[in-house]
Structure 1
């Protein structure tokens, strides 16, 4: 008989696994067992036991040692926004209370399109987040980044790191949820996609305060790729979505689509450039760009009617995968179109804290990348420079 292998008892398993008497991977919350069964994963008994043993309270900003392996950590660093950050295990309770208070009293307002959404973002979505931990991590991340914008420099760096840690931790379970959409999780995925847009736009300037190299263009590409999965919700699972947010609300359905003469002429010029430049071997890209430009014009018109985040965010969520691939490959005409969306993003500056200086940063990056290119684009680039006083 072969010798029995020693059994490693799970001493730090989550409450659910303890109740079910199954082995927990201790990597939560949520652990893999709770993720697969969509259970509310908590570690209340573990934390209580640790408190009794140590009889000591951690510092307000100190994150306990991580319990995940190096492969998980490296994956989160590659897929997350900003630069690699330290791992985040269960934060101390006081951190959660502080961040949830910030979100439910202040941060939520920056995501609202209309007054009718206030209750949804302030009450409904935090309650939903208690059942879906990637959404909870998302709103904690956004609140922490919001606190960083008003904190003293030393504390601001701590809030920035904590926000990025929360965001990176949300990515893997969020992708799992996208691949396994159900009537029970589709609202949480939908809400998290909106939170994720705000975080991705805000993060490059936050990390830049630490003298780290960060590109908002790269962040937008990562965001594009994540949002491709969210499109499945609005297309195949639309009857399941109950949250009246974003492009699902009455605002998007009823407002007119008139556009002022200057912006109408500028977008029409880019469309004519598409007809002129993207021909021959670029015929497929021409059709892709034509559809993307049509939707961008629609978003400009909606913003002119009501200056809120919905039209700006909607374009990011609606673009086709082939366009995303072109942007990732730095195809110049696709970058030109992205730059025109950057002009629309500039319009949120001063209205939403997470968009502050983001549009101008994106446009400046893209202008530098496109300088010295096709001379037929000069007038299109000049319009952007004039619009932003660059």
Structure 2
């Protein structure tokens, strides 16, 4: 319930203007509910069972959504230029939360497969998205070209990140879990603000930004693109193509 109230508070805050005092109160409420969620959640994780697995799965997804969108509601790149160039998502926390979701599914799959969330967990059919067929054109060719032209480490990390993102883009339910598939090395590169890692990260943000049915993913995706695209797209023509694709995919004005 606390996780649900946290996400509800964030949703209400997202509907208000940034200078509305009630917005700040709602963000504070969300943080309060999130802080109350973790102790009980961790305690229940010690003993996953058919009785609590549905609640644990729901709670983990709600906390993941809060982690994705919270930073985006605390900043607004277009009105606060000082935050441009910063990564507007706690990727390490998100990485561990998504891994936690997979862990709950793995430990309680028989019960979850027969429960209310059976249709939701289908996209989480494993950490390897290669069961999906590859489809050309889902990501801009320039992104793969830039990664292919890189010979020095961590070129394997970047190529793997793009390969898995290409697969995940086919099934929208796989876009968010991609961060685990990309791996810890990639997360480190993004948090170190390595330019090519940020370009891949912007592409992921663009795919999040098109998830119309997930308001929190859409808000976070647009913020990722808006916060980083202006600086990262100045490298050269190929970089610019990727950024323009990201803005168009996330439906951000490119003029």
Q: TM-score, normalised by structure 2?
A: 0.72
Alpha-carbon distance in 2 for matches of 1:192, 1:354: 15
- Give 3-state SS (helix, strand or coil) of 1:263's partner: coil
Q: Are 2:13 and 2:26, in contact at CA under 8 Å, matched by a contact in 1?
A: yes
Q: Out of 129, 135, 156, which is 1:287 matched to?
A: 156
- Aligned counterpart, 2:3: 138
Pair 1:194 & 2:68 matched: no
Q: Are 2:67 and 2:89, in contact at CA under 8 Å, matched by a contact in 1?
A: no
Q: Out of 104, 111, 131, which is 1:233 matched to?
A: 104
- Give 3-state SS (helix, strand or coil) of 1:301's partner: coil
Q: Are 2:87 and 2:191, in contact at CA under 8 Å, matched by a contact in 1?
A: no
Give the direction of change, closer, same or farther, for the CA distance of 1:377–1:150 in structure 2 (3 Å limit). closer
Q: Out of 263, 279, 291, which is 2:138 matched to?
A: 263
Q: Are 2:202 and 2:224, in contact at CA under 8 Å, matched by a contact in 1?
A: yes
Please show how residues 118-267 of structure 1 align to structure 2 within 5 Å.
Answer: 136-150=1-15, 153-175=20-42, 180=46, 182-184=48-50, 185-208=52-75, 217-235=88-106, 238-239=109-110, 241-242=112-113, 243-248=117-122, 257=133, 259=135, 262-264=137-139, 266=140
Alpha-carbon distance in 1 for matches of 2:107, 2:185: 19
Q: Out of 274, 291, 310, which is 2:147 matched to?
A: 274
The gaps in structure 2 that reach 5 residues or longer are none
Q: TM-score, normalised by structure 1?
A: 0.50
Alpha-carbon distance in 1 for matches of 2:43, 2:158: 30
Measured against aligned partners, the alpha-carbon deviations of 1:151-210 in whole angstroms (never above 9, x if no partner) come to: 7944443333211210133235445655x363355443332222123222332343348x
Q: Are 2:68 and 2:89, in contact at CA under 8 Å, matched by a contact in 1?
A: no
Pair 1:343 & 2:206 matched: yes
Alpha-carbon distance in 2 for matches of 1:318, 1:187: 24
- Aligned counterpart, 2:222: 360
Q: CA deviation at 1:339?
A: 0.8
Q: CA deviation at 1:337?
A: 1.2
Pair 1:297 & 2:162 matched: no
Measured against aligned partners, the alpha-carbon deviations of 1:55-85 in whole angstroms (never above 9, x if no partner) come to: xxxxxxxxxxxxxxxxxxxxxxxxxxxxxxx
Please show how residues 302-317 of structure 1 align to structure 2 within 5 Å.
Answer: 302-303=171-172, 310-317=173-180
Measured against aligned partners, the alpha-carbon deviations of 1:266-315 in whole angstroms (never above 9, x if no partner) come to: 1x4322322221x23x0xx3333333322211222223xxxxxx233232
Alpha-carbon distance in 2 for matches of 1:324, 1:176: 28
Q: CA deviation at 1:138?
A: 0.7
Q: Are 1:148 and 1:156, in contact at CA under 8 Å, matched by a contact in 2?
A: yes
Q: Are 1:231 and 1:318, in contact at CA under 8 Å, matched by a contact in 2?
A: no
Alpha-carbon distance in 2 for matches of 1:233, 1:193: 9
Give the direction of change, closer, same or farther, for the CA distance of 1:246–1:320 in structure 2 (3 Å limit). farther
- Give 3-state SS (helix, strand or coil) of 2:49's partner: coil
Pair 1:324 & 2:187 matched: yes
Q: Are 1:228 and 1:321, in contact at CA under 8 Å, matched by a contact in 2?
A: no
Q: CA deviation at 1:244?
A: 1.3
Q: Are 2:165 and 2:178, in contact at CA under 8 Å, matched by a contact in 1?
A: yes
Alpha-carbon distance in 1 for matches of 2:123, 2:246: 31
Higher RCO (Cα < 8 Å, 6 or more apart): 2
Measured against aligned partners, the alpha-carbon deviations of 1:124-168 in whole angstroms (never above 9, x if no partner) come to: xxxxxxxxxxxx221111122233345794444333321121013
Q: Are 1:186 and 1:241, in contact at CA under 8 Å, matched by a contact in 2?
A: yes
- Aligned counterpart, 1:5: none
